[in-house]
Structure 1
C-alpha cells in the first residue's frame, strides 16, 4: 500500500525507498543538521516531506554522484544540488551568416599564414 503524497514516512519506509540501511539515515542525521525528522515517543522517527526530499538529495550526492560526506555538506550549504540534469540547450540559430562566414575565412587565412611561418 502506497502512502499519499506528502505523508510522513517512518525510518523503515524511507530506508526501503532509498535502499539504504536504517543506521545510515541515523548517521546522516548527525552529519547533516537540516535533516531532523520528527521524533515521537520511544524515539520513533517520522520524516516530513521536506526531510524526505533532503534525504533523497543526500542519497543522490553520496551514492550516485560519488561525493564524500564533507563534499555533500559543502554542496548542500552552497545552495543545494539539482537532482535532475539540466535540459540540453537549444541548438544555436543558423550559424551560416555573412558575418560568421567572413570571420571563418579570416581565421583560415591566419591559420594558413601561421602554418607557412612554422613550415608545417
Structure 2
C-alpha cells in the first residue's frame, strides 16, 4: 500500500508566513491588530502566531482594503450581521409599479373588466391543469 503524503497543515502560522500570504509587511499587521481586537495573535516564546480563522479574517480585510474600503468600512462590512429582507421589502416585479387608478372615476364597463379577466384566467388554468393531467397519465 502506498503512503499518501499530506501537506504540512499547522494549527498556528507564524507572522512571517502570514506576511508572505498577505503580501504585506509585519508592521501593517501590527496596525490592524490595534484596530481589530478579533485579530489577537497567540504569543509563543515572544513570537506571534495566528490560527486559520484569524488568517481568513486578515484575508477578508486585505481584500476589502484593496477594493478601496477604509478600515472602519471594512469593519462594518465584515462584522455587520447580514440583514434579512422583510416581506414588505421584497421586490415584486410589476409592469407599472407607480400606476394608480382612482376608483371613483371608473365607469361601469371598467369595473366589470377585472371580473371578466379573472374568469378568463380561471378557465385558462383549468384547461392547463387538464392538459397536465393528460400528459401525466400518458407517462
The bucket for the TM-score relative to the shorter chain is 0.5 to 0.7
Whether 1:52 and 2:63 are equivalent positions in the alignment is: no
1:16 alignment counterpart: 20
- The alignment's TM-score, normalised by the length of structure 1, stands at 0.58
Which protein shows a greater Rg?
Answer: 2
Compute the RMSD of aligned alpha carbons: 1.9
- Secondary structure (helix, strand or coil) at the match of 2:37 reads coil
Q: Which runs of 5+ in 2 are unaligned?
A: 1-6, 83-94, 96-139
Distance change (3 Å), C-alpha of 1:79 and 1:4:
farther
1:110 alignment counterpart: none
Q: Which runs of 5+ in 1 are unaligned?
A: 81-102, 104-120
Structure 1 segments, 4+ long, off by >2 Å, are: 3-7
- The alignment's TM-score, normalised by the length of structure 2, stands at 0.50
Equivalent pairs counted in the alignment come to 77
Higher RCO, 1 or 2 (CA under 8 Å, sep at least 6)?
A: 1
Q: After TM superposition, give the deviation of residue 75 of structure 1 in Å.
A: 1.1
